[in-house]
Amino acid sequence: MEARDHELKRDLAATLHARGELGPEYESALIDSFLEKVEQRLDTTLDRRVRRHLAEQQVTAARDPRSVRAPSAAGAPSGFGERFGFGVVSLVLAVPLSAIGVVNAGIEGLVVAWMGIVGVNAVHAARSGGLFRQRERRAASAPASEWQD
Q: What is the DSSP string of 54-114?
A: HHHHHHHHHH-GGGSPPPPPTT---SHHHHHHHHHHHHHHHHHHHHHHHHHHTHHHHHHHH
Euclidean distance between CA atoms 114 and 91, whole angstroms:
10
Task: Give how many domains the chain has, as a whole number.
Answer: 1
* 4 belongs to a structural domain: no
* 90 belongs to a structural domain: no
Give the model's pLDDT for residue 27.
86
Q: Cβ–Cβ contacts within 10 Å for residue 56, how many?
A: 10
pTM above 0.75, yes or no: no
Give the model's pLDDT for residue 115.
93
Residue 136 belongs to domain spanning:
106-140
* 50 belongs to a structural domain: no
- The whole-number average pLDDT for the span 74-99 is 77
* 128 belongs to a structural domain: yes
Give the model's pLDDT for residue 1.
53
Q: pLDDT digit string (tens) for 41-75? A: 888 888 899 999 999 888 888 887 665 555 544 44
Give the model's pLDDT for residue 131.
59
Q: What is the largest CA-CA distance in the chain?
A: 91
User: Confidence band (pLDDT; 50, 70, 90) for 77?
Assistant: very low
* 131 belongs to a structural domain: yes
* 117 belongs to a structural domain: yes
- The whole-number average pLDDT for the span 37-43 is 87
- The whole-number average pLDDT for the span 116-120 is 89
* 113 belongs to a structural domain: yes
